[in-house]
């Protein structure tokens, strides 16, 4: 059964490096967004892992993360094989991260197909997600192409990158389209045009490709990245971790989108058939929980609760045995976690980086 | 030296029964407003005590409170004689409270002069306060009158009772006036007229009288109250606490203002020469602390701190090792104490009773 064989060579790489400053003070350096219980009470990274099981065996799943988070992972994911946690020697954006993971997989299986996806998205339902990725893996192998997944826009979002789509790559495959162009986060007017036009999809940040195809695309997009990748692979094959680390540090500090995707000769976009949410800031958690009668949303964990009186449209995130009481306030985000309380208007929540920067400048790195 | 003799028969009664719902969740049933560190980091009741020392000896100071708070007092005021803490058998407003304290004092010294004052005001400076009360005590004795202290209004307050003042009681005493009439909390227009008129003072809730004078005024104002007082005194003299308790419970549930002051034949009003603040709600704490550059006020205790970024006009009360971070919000009250966080607009803070009532109705008496 060739299909079974194909599945057995499918790997998945969870990119878990983000710090999630837009969820401060719920998210901290040692407890980034993907560790928060935003997936129906479960940490996002655990839900991401659960979504992948059934698609590939546990020893084909890799997590790339930083040193601090790597230390926390065994507690959060007790069954996960520790040797499949890849620690980035330093933060160098996503291109070196992908190169590192690809080298580790290639050293084990040069013909592998690999999924690359962020740790901190909410995607449902699981069955549709797995079916979509299986189909993407087949397209990636059959066409030796990079495959990405596009989300049909539901509004003129300015917070996402877009992919302009062309013709189907195959008349039998109407949901798999040629990627014509990657477009960065647009301004509001441009986003409106994209939405009108109909052939622009949101870039989900989920990819599938074969080891061979991504190596070729690195060579085309960034010779420095390809060279660093080759050194990482050689280092791994020689069981020389120092060589892998040195090669990683020489790789260009750039995103995989800029370094490779936008310069690739052939990219296929599969129109996603799932509900997708990148949970970009506090207001997004409204989509993944329940509201009270006055339209206040609360995500409480470990015993926290909300009491709202003459208050409406607020978003509360609280953890631990505590109560948040709102009286007469509207459209606020209120966060109470550990040693910090944060209050901001919900229309400023996407800009929370500004506050985190201020906290840093105030010398309160203990809070980050 | 007759003056020294007069001073030695001066007693003071601190009324400490209030629950201070307008400071929830900083104030709770077992930790009412007078226990909060609102007097430059010191609990209000401790500052009230300090203000009285020098005016009368410690064994002439009495605290009337409820059972719960009585249990907390020895920890808060370690040097205070426990037998001078008078426990109200039940909450029956201020008239029975005054009768109880008067009976205790009368049993020891029937010719005593007594000060009655709330535990939870901020009054400064101490020297002026003591001088004002000494003068009040002399007037009370010399004229056998009830003496109250009036605050010159600084704005058209609707939250205070007013005293309409007449002629000086003595041409040599221009600051001691006849009380013409007590006026309840006025509406806004009436308050404006009072302010214009010039002869209306705020009722500070501080009184001085002799035991004899208040007994006579009780008899005139409320025969039931006077009868209950007589029974309490007899019970005390007979060392029969059960009799005191029964008499207290038979006393009319009414305030001393309604029951006695408003019906008294002779009341003198001494124009206060102190800064007085009854710290009625969270916005009042602004007057007793410091603001940051953007006009945010923080009262922090036991390690709490405020970080404000693009936020202005907010009032923060925080206790314990925690940080309140405000981002882009205006004119809010944010309270973080123990297991509760409370957020409301500052112009709703005076109405916090509504929230406390809601908390009660929600079955969360554990938070009260």
Q: What is the pLDDT of residues A320-333, one digit of tens each?
A: 999 999 999 999 99
Which residues in A lie closer than 8 A to residue B359 (C-beta atoms)? 307, 309, 325
The pLDDT of residue A30: 84
| Phi/psi at A10 (5° precision) | -90, 125
The residues pairing with A44 across neighbouring beta strands, listed in sequence order, are none
A69, A103, A233, B171, B244 from A245: Cα distances, Å: 18, 12, 11, 94, 84
Domain's final residue, options A257, A277, A297? A277
Residue A264 pLDDT exceeds 70: yes
B313 chain-A contacts, CB cut-off 8 A: none
Residues B114 and B168 occupy one common structural domain = yes
pLDDT band at B289 (very low <50, low <70, confident <90, very high): confident
pLDDT of residue A334: 98
Same domain? For A290 and A271 the reply is: no
Is the minimum CB–CB distance between B358 and chain A shorter than 8 Å?
yes
pLDDT for the residue numbered A6: 45
Q: Is B359 within 8 Å of chain A by CB?
A: yes
Predicted local confidence at residue B351, as pLDDT: 94
CB contact under 8 A, B332 and A329: yes
Where does residue B219 rank: exposed (0-12), middle (13-18), buried (19+ CB within 10 A)? middle
Asked if pLDDT for residue B302 goes beyond 90, the answer is no
Pick from B299, B298, B300, B303: which is nearest to B314 by CA?
A: B298
Average pLDDT along chain A: 93
- Is the pLDDT at A3 greater than 70? The verdict is no
Residue A218 DSSP SS3: helix
The answer to whether residues B332 and A348 touch, using CB atoms and an 8 Å cutoff, is no
Given A260, A277, A294, which residue is the final one in a domain? Answer: A277
Q: A344, B355: Cβ pair inside 8 Å?
A: no
Contacts of A318 (CB under 8 A, 6+ apart): A298, A299, A300, A301, A304, A305, A306, A324, A334, A335, A336, A337, B341
Does A212 lie in the same domain as A158?
Answer: yes
**Overall average pLDDT of the A149-157 stretch:** 95
Number of domains forming the structure of chain A = 2
Q: Are residues A195 and A62 both part of a single domain? A: yes
Q: What percent of chain B has pLDDT over 90?
A: 86
pTM: 0.89
**What mean pLDDT comes out for the span A19-30?**
88
CB contact (8 A) between residue B341 and residue A355: no
CA distance A33 to chain B (A): 19
Mean per-residue pLDDT of chain B? 93
Q: Does A294 touch chain B (CB under 8 A)?
A: no
Please tell me whether the interface predicted TM-score (ipTM) of this complex is above 0.95.
no
How many C-beta atoms surround the C-beta of residue B131 within 10 A? 14
Q: Closest CB to A341: pick one of B324, B362, B367.
A: B324
Q: Over the stretch B199-252, which tens digit does the pLDDT of each residue have?
A: 999 999 999 999 999 999 999 999 999 999 999 999 999 999 999 999 999 999
Which CATH number belongs to the domain containing residue B182 in this structure? 3.90.550.10
Expressed as residue numbers, the domain containing A293 is 282-367
Do A230 and A304 share a structural domain? Answer: no
B312 contacts chain A (CB < 8 A): no
Is A326 in the B-facing interface, judged by CB distances under 8 Å? yes
pLDDT recorded at residue B310: 97
Q: How many CB atoms lie within 10 A of CB A255?
A: 16
Residues B208 and B304 in one domain: no
Please report which helix (H) or strand (E) contains residue A244, including its range. helix A241-250
Give the pairing type, strands A297-301 and A315-319: parallel
* Same domain flag for A299 and A260: no
Q: Are residues B37 and B88 in the same domain?
A: yes
Sign for the pseudo-dihedral over CA of A174, A180, A186, A189 = negative
Which of A233, A250, A277 is at the close of a domain?
A277
Coil, helix or strand at residue A45: helix
pLDDT exceeds cutoff 50 at A2: no
Q: Are residues B29 and B155 in the same domain?
A: yes
Contact A341 B362 (CB under 8 A): no
pLDDT tens for residues B5-39? 444 499 999 999 877 788 999 999 888 999 999 98
- Read off the pLDDT of each residue in A230-259 and give the average, rounded to a whole number: 97
CB within 8 Å of B327: residues ≥ 6 apart: A342, A343, A344, A348, A352, A354, A355, A358, B308, B309, B310, B311
| The token pair that represents B228 in the structure block | 């209950």
Are B213 and B295 part of one and the same domain? no
pLDDT score recorded for residue B6: 45
| Cα of A35 to nearest chain B Cα, Å | 22
Residues A107 and A233 in one domain: yes
- Average of pLDDT values for A107-120? 96
Task: Inform me whether the pLDDT recorded for A265 exceeds 60.
Answer: yes
Query: pLDDT value at position A231?
Result: 98
Partner A, chain B 333-352, Cβ-Cβ below 8 Å: 334, 336, 339-345, 348, 351-352
How does residue A195 score in pLDDT terms, banded at 50, 70 and 90?
A: very high
Q: State the nearest Cα–Cα gap between B267 and chain A, in angstroms.
A: 42
Q: Which residues of B touch A328 (CB under 8 A)?
A: 344-345, 348, 351
Cβ distance B309 to A339 less than 8 Å, yes or no, reads no
Query: A55-112: per-residue pLDDT in tens?
Result: 999 999 999 999 989 999 999 999 999 999 999 999 999 999 999 999 999 999 999 9
* Cβ contact B341–A322 (<8 Å): yes
What band does B41 get if pLDDT is binned at 50, 70 and 90? Answer: confident
Of the candidates A340, A345, A362, the beta carbon closest to that of B328 is on A345
Asked if B11 and B149 sit in the same domain, the reply is yes
- pLDDT classification of A1: cutoffs 50, 70, 90: very low
């Amino acid at each position: 059964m060739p299909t079974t064989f194909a599945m057995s060579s499918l790997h998945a790489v969870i990119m878990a490096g983000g710090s999630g400053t837009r969820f401060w003070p719920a998210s901290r350096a040692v407890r980034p967004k993907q560790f928060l219980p935003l997936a129906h009470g479960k940490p996002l990274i655990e839900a991401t892992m659960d979504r992948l099981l059934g698609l590939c065996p546990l020893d084909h799943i890799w997590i790339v993360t930083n040193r601090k988070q790597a230390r926390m992972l065994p507690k959060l994911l007790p069954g996960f094989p520790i040797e499949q946690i890849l620690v980035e020697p330093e933060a160098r954006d996503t291109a070196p991260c992908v190169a590192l993971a690809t080298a580790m997989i290639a050293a084990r299986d040069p013909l592998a197909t690999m999924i690359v996806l962020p740790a901190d998205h909410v995607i449902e339902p699981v069955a549709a997600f797995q079916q979509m990725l299986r189909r993407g893996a087949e397209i990636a192998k059959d066409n030796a192409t990079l495959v990405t997944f596009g989300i049909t826009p539901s509004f003129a979002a300015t917070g996402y990158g877009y992919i302009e789509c062309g013709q189907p790559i195959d008349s039998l495959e109407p949901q798999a389209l040629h990627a014509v162009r990657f477009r960065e986060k647009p301004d509001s007017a441009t986003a409106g045009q994209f939405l009108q036009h109909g052939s622009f999809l949101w870039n989900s940040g989920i990819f599938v490709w074969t080891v061979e195809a991504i190596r070729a695309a690195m060579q085309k997009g960034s010779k420095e990245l390809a060279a660093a990748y080759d050194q990482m692979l050689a280092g791994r094959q020689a069981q020389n971790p120092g060589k892998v680390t040195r090669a990683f540090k020489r790789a260009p500090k750039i995103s995989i989108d800029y370094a490779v995707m936008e310069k690739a000769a052939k990219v296929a976009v599969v129109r996603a058939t799932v509900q997708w949410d990148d949970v970009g800031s506090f207001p997004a958690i409204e989509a993944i929980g329940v509201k009270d009668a006055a339209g206040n949303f609360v995500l409480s964990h470990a015993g926290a609760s909300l009491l709202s009186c003459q208050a409406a449209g607020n978003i509360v995130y609280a953890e631990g045995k505590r109560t948040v009481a709102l009286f007469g306030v509207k459209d606020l985000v209120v966060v109470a976690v550990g040693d910090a309380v944060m209050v901001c208007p919900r229309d400023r929540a996407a800009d929370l980086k500004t506050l985190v920067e201020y906290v840093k400048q105030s010398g309160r790195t203990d809070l980050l």
